[in-house]
Structure 1
Amino acid sequence: MAHKYLIIKAFEKAFVELEQQGIKKPSKQKRAELLSDYVKEVSDFHLGEKTYRNYYNDAVKKLEEVDDIQINSEVVAGLCAYLNYKSYQEFLKETPLQIKKSKFQLLKPHQKYSWVLALILLCVTFFIVAYWTHPEQRWMIWNEDHYEEVNFDPKIYKAGMLEIYHEENLNNFKKLKVNCDTRFFSAEGDVMVWYGKSKEGALECFTAPGLHPKTGKTLKKITHYMIDKYICSSDLDDLK
C-alpha cells in the first residue's frame, strides 16, 4: 500500500497548479479544496477539505514509517486520475518504493527556522524596494463582470471590496455568459474558460484562472463533463 505517497504527490501537484493560477504559496487548505472539488467532479463522491488535510498530515507523519495510512477507495481513484494514472495499480508500478520527501512540509526543525528567517528577510527587502519604487499603491474593484481601477476609499477597503491593482486581471479577467456555442477550448485543446460558484451556488465562468472575485475560492478549468452536465443542460438548478 502506498496511500501516503499518493496523497503527498497529489498535494504537491495541487501546489504547482495553484501557483500557476497566480496564488503565491498556496495553503494546505487551498490545495485540499482543489483536490476535494476534483474528486467530487470526476466521481460524484464528496469529502470535505478537512478530511484531505487530515490524510496529508497523517501521510507526512508516517512517511518514514512502515505503516501506511488508509484512504477511501473513491478518493484513491480520484487522486490517481488527478495525477494522470489510469489506475492505482499503475501508480504503484510507476512510483518508487522510496520517494523523495515533500519539499513543502518535511523540513527538519533547524531547516525550517533557516527557511523562515530567509523568507522574512526577503519580504522585508521586497517591501523596502516596493515602497521606494512605487510609493503610491494602485487599487481596483470588481464591477459586475470586470475589474476597474479606482482611488483608495477607506470605507470600501474596510468592506473588503478593494483589491491591489493587477494589470493582467484588469485587462484579461472577465465574467462570461456561456452557452453550448461558447468556445471553451483553443484549436490545440487548451482551456480558455474557468468556472466557480457564486455565493448563491450559481455556476459562473471567467476568461482567466485565479480566484472568484466574490467568494475568493480558486476557479477550476472547465471540463467536457461540466459543459455537458451544467452548461448545455436546460436545468441548472442542480448546482444550487
Structure 2
Amino acid sequence: MHAELLKQAFDQAQRDTGSEKVLRRAQFLSDTIEERTKQPYGERSLRNYFNEVQQGSDDFELPAHVVDGLAGYLGYDTYRDFLNSLEGGSPLTINRPRRNTRVWYYLAGVGVIALVLWVLFENPFQTKMMIWVEDHYEVVPMDLETYKLSDLKKINQDRLDHFRKVEPDCSYEFFDGNKLELLWYGRNPDGELEYFTDLGRHPETGKTLDPITEYMIKKYICPTYPNN
C-alpha cells in the first residue's frame, strides 16, 4: 500500500512544483519529509522506489517517518486516514492558498530564527553537523566559533555516502542501463560549471542541480560523445 501513497505524493508534487521531472519531485518530497518529521530521507531512495512503482511493483515498505511525512503532505492526519480514503472515503482535495509575499518572508525569517535557537538551546545532544569540504561533505562538531552557521547542515547520510564533486571526461559513465542520469551539474558562485555524482542542491549556491544531458556532455565534457 505504500506504493499508492508514494504515487499520490509524486502526483501532488508535480502539481506543486510544476515539474514533470522525477528528480525535481524527489528533491521536493525529500525536503518536505524532513521539514515535517525532522528526519532526513534521501532523494535517491524516493526516486528509486517511484521508478519501481512506475514499473508496476509494490513490494516495498517505506520507513515510518517517511510514511507519516507523505501522508501529512497529502493532507491526512495519519496513514490510517489515507488508507480509509482508499477503502471508500473521499480523497482529500489539497488547496494551497496563495500567500501574501510580505507575510511569507516575515514568517520565513521567524522560522529561521526559531530553528537557530532550537539547534543552539533546545537540542543540546545534536553535537554533530556536516559541512562541504572541497568535493564532499564531512561530519564536524557543532562549533560556531570554527564554522559559520550558514555553512553547517544537518547530517544526511545519503549526502555523506553518495554526493561528490567530480571532473568527468569521455570515459565517465553518464547513464545507467535504464538511461537514468548518473551525473548532475550546476554553476558555482563564480559561474563555473561543476559536476556532482547525485541529485540535490549545489553545496555553495543552494540551487537545484540539473541532470546531465547528451547536449551538455558534447558541449562541455566530451565533444565525440557517444562515439568516443
The structure with the largest alpha-carbon Rg is: 1
TM-score by length of 2: 0.48
TM-score by length of 1: 0.46
